[in-house]
Amino acid sequence: MNAQLSYEFFPPKTALGREKLLTEVLPKLAETCPAYVSVTYGAGGSTRDNTMGTVKDIHATGIPVAPHLSFGTDSEETIRELLLHYQSIGVARVVALRGDLPSGAGGSQQLVFANELVEFIRQETGEHFTIEVAAYPEIHPEAKSYEVDIINLKRKLDAGADAAITQYFFSADAYLEFVKTCREYGITKPIYPGIMPITNYDNLARFSRNCGADIPRWLDKKLSGFGDNIDALKAFGQDFITDLCKRLLEGGAPGIHFYTMNQAEPVVSIVSELKQAGYFANQ
Please state the closest distance from residue 224 (CB atom) to ligand FAD, in A: 25
Stretch that binds ligand FAD, among 29-37, 150-158, 201-209, 221-229 (CB under 6 A): 150-158
Please state the closest distance from residue 149 (CB atom) to ligand FAD, in A: 4
Angle between helices 267-276 and 230-250 (to 10 degrees): 40
The distance in angstroms from the start CA to the end CA of the chain is 9
Instruction: Figure out which of the listed residues 5, 26, 79, 114 binds ligand FAD, where binding follows CB under 6 A.
Output: 114
Q: Is 47 or 242 the residue whose CB approaches ligand FAD more closely?
A: 47
98 binds ligand FAD (CB under 6 A): yes
Q: Is 115 or 263 the residue whose CB approaches ligand FAD more closely?
A: 115
Q: How far is 203 from 209, CA to CA, in rounded Å?
A: 10
150 binds ligand FAD (CB under 6 A): no
Please state the closest distance from residue 124 (CB atom) to ligand FAD, in A: 18
How far apart, in Å, are the Cα atoms of 9 and each of 22, 40, 112, 131, 173? 11, 6, 25, 17, 26
Closest-CA residue to 190 (of 115, 242, 252, 148): 252
68 binds ligand FAD (CB under 6 A): yes
Please state the closest distance from residue 132 (CB atom) to ligand FAD, in A: 7
Instruction: Figure out which of the listed residues 4, 6, 32, 115 binds ligand FAD, where binding follows CB under 6 A.
Output: 115
Asked if residue 266 has a cis previous peptide bond (ω within 30° of 0), the answer is: yes
Amino acid at 169: F
Closest-CA residue to 45 (of 68, 22, 21): 68
Q: Is 99 or 255 the residue whose CB approaches ligand FAD more closely?
A: 99
Catalytic residue IDs? 8
